[in-house]
Amino acid sequence: MKCERDKCPEWESLPAEVKADVARLESAMDAIDEAENKFAKCKELARTSGGQRGWSQSRLRAKYYEWVNLGRTWTTLVDWAKVGSKRKTPRSMCDSLFKHYCGQHQRSSKKAHERMMSDLWRGKRLPGILAKGADGDWTDIFKACYPRMQVPAMCPFGWVPPGMSYRNMQHYAKLSKREIAMLRIGSKAAHKFTPPVFSTREGMQPGMLYQCDDVWHDIEVILPGINKGLARPLEFCCIDYASTNKVAYGMICQIEQDDGSKRSLREREMLWLICHLLTNIGYHKDGCVIVIEHGAATVRPHIRDKITSMTDGKVTFRTSEIIGKSLVKGMFDGAGKGNFKAKALVESSHRLLHYEAAYLPAQTGGNARVDRPEQLDGIESYAGNILKAWSTMSEDRRGLLWMPALTYWAYRPIVADLYRAIYTRTEHECEGWDANGWLVPEWSLSGIGDWQPVANIKHLPPTMRAVAETACKEHGHVRARRMSPLEVWDSGQDELERLPPWAAVEILGDKYCHRAAVQSNGLIEFMDRNIEPGKKFRFQSQVLSPAGQAFIMEPGQIVSIYALPHDLTKAVIADPESGAILGVAPAWNAVSPINAAQVKAAIAEQAKIVAAKDAPIKARHEEDGVIVASCRASNDYLLAEDAELVDTPRSSRALPKSSDVDLTKFFQPNFTNKNTKEGDPNEY
Residues facing residue 236 across a β-bridge: 214, 250
- Residue of 36, 56, 53, 33 lying closest to 44 (CA atoms): 56
Contact 135, 125 (CB under 8 A): yes
Helix 596-620 to helix 622-644 angle (10° resolution) is 90
Provide the pLDDT for residue 305: 94
Model confidence at 563: pLDDT above 80: yes
Helix H or strand E encompassing 558: strand 558-564
Buried b (16+ CB within 10 A) or exposed e, 45-63: bbeebeeeeebbbeebbeb
Closest CA to 248 of 480, 566, 519, 632: 566
**Rg of the Cα atoms in the chain:** 44
- Check the CA dihedral 136-137-139-140 and report its sign: positive
Residue 260 has pLDDT above 90, yes or no: no
pLDDT of residue 673: 42
What mean pLDDT do residues 159-169 have? 86
Q: How far is CA 544 from CA 251, 276, 314, 553, 563, in A?
A: 30, 19, 27, 11, 15
- Nearest one of 494, 557, 468 to 520, comparing CA atoms: 557
pLDDT at 329 over 60: no
Cβ–Cβ under 8 Å, residues 232 and 364: yes
Q: How many residues does the chain have?
A: 684
- Interatomic CA distance for residues 605 and 335, integer angstroms: 55
Sign for the CA dihedral angle at 401, 406, 411, 415 comes to positive
pLDDT at 502: 92
Could you tell me if 231 and 253 are in contact, meaning their C-beta atoms sit under 8 angstroms apart? Answer: yes
pLDDT range class, residue 84, cuts 50, 70, 90: low
674 confidence band (pLDDT: 50, 70, 90) = very low
Judge contact between 363 and 376, C-beta under 8 A. yes
Q: At what angle do helices 57-69 and 38-48 cross, to 10 degrees?
A: 130
Residue 524 pLDDT = 92
Query: What does the pLDDT average to over 582-595?
Result: 75
> Tens of pLDDT along 460-502?
898 888 888 888 888 888 989 999 999 999 999 999 999 999 9
Helix pair 138-145, 91-104: axis angle to 10 deg: 150
Distances (CA, A) of 677 to 266, 672, 673, 684: 85, 12, 9, 12
Give the per-residue pLDDT at 343.
65
Give which of 195, 186, 188, 251 is closest to 223, Cα–Cα. Answer: 251
pLDDT at position 675: 42
Mean pLDDT computed over every residue of the chain: 83
Query: What percent of the chain lies above the pLDDT cut of 90?
Result: 34
3-state secondary structure of 150: coil
**What's the pLDDT band for 631 if we cut at 50, 70, 90?**
confident
Which pLDDT score, from 0 to 100, does residue 19 have? 84
Instruction: Reply yes or no on whether the pLDDT at 617 is more than 50.
Output: yes
Could you read off the pLDDT of 349-395 as tens digits, one per residue?
899 999 999 999 999 988 877 889 999 999 999 999 999 888 888 88
Query: Other C-beta atoms within 10 Å of 292: how many?
Result: 24
pLDDT at 5: 66
Average pLDDT over residues 449-453: 87
What is the full DSSP assignment across 464-531? HHHHHHHHHTSTTSEEEEEPPHHHHHHHTGGGEE---TTHHHHHHTGGG-EEEE--TTSEEEEE-TTT
Strand stretches in 315-457, DSSP E: 315-319, 322-323, 337-338, 439-443, 452-453
254 contacts 234 by C-beta, under 8 angstroms: yes
Distance of alpha carbon 270 from the chain centroid: 10
pLDDT score of 431 more than 80: yes
Q: What is the predicted pLDDT for the residue at 270? A: 93
pLDDT tens for 94-112 read 888 999 999 888 889 999 9
Helix %, strand %, coil % of the chain (to 5)? 45, 15, 40
Write out pLDDT tens, residues 331-355.
555 555 555 565 678 888 899 999 9
Q: Which residue has the higher pLDDT, 329 or 247?
A: 247
Given this model, what pLDDT does residue 326 score? 53
Q: Backbone dihedral region of 373: left (phi > 0), alpha (psi from -120 to 50 degrees) or beta?
A: beta
DSSP state, 363?
A: B
Contact 289, 207 (CB under 8 A): no
pLDDT for 327 equals: 54
Write the burial class of residue 481 (CB in 10 Å: 0-12 exposed, 13-18 middle, 19+ buried). Answer: middle
Judged by average pLDDT, the poorest of 46-60, 520-534, 559-573, 603-617 is 603-617
Q: What is the C-alpha to C-alpha distance for residues 212 and 237, in angstroms, rounded to an integer?
A: 6
Which position has the higher pLDDT, 371 or 661? 371
Q: Per mean pLDDT, which range of 194-198, 375-379, 562-566 is the poorest? A: 194-198
pLDDT of 679 reads 43
- Quote the CA–CA distance of 457 and 469 in Å, as a whole number: 8
From CA 665, how far away is CA 623, in angstroms rounded?
Answer: 10
* Whole-number pLDDT of residue 680: 43
Rounded distance between C-alpha atoms, residue 567 and residue 249, angstroms: 11
Reported confidence tier of residue 606, pLDDT bands at 50, 70, 90: low
Instruction: Read off the pLDDT band of 172 (50, 70, 90).
Output: confident
Backbone angles phi, psi at 475, to 5 degrees: -65, 135
- In sign, the C-alpha dihedral spanning 603, 608, 613, 615 is positive
Calculate the CA dihedral of residues 185, 187, 191, 197 and round it to 10 degrees. 180
Tens of pLDDT, residue by residue over 55-64, are 888 888 888 8
Residue 324 gets which letter from DSSP? -
DSSP sequence for 212-249: EEEEE-SB-EE-TTT-SSEE-EEEEEEEETTT--EEEE
Residues 525 and 516: beta-carbon distance below 8 Å: yes
Residue 678 confidence (pLDDT) above 50: no
Q: Classify residue 209 as exposed, middle or buried by CB count within 10 Å of its CB (0-12, 13-18, 19+).
A: buried
pLDDT at 604 over 70: no
Residue 48 has pLDDT above 60, yes or no: yes
CA distances from 235 to 260, 307, 324, 520, 534 (A): 21, 23, 26, 38, 20
% residues pLDDT > 70 (the chain): 84
Angle between helices 408-422 and 344-356 (to 10 degrees): 120
Q: Are 272 and 531 in contact (CB under 8 A)?
A: no
CA dihedral 543, 546, 548, 549 (to 10 degrees): -50
Do 609 and 540 touch, CB atoms closer than 8 A?
A: yes
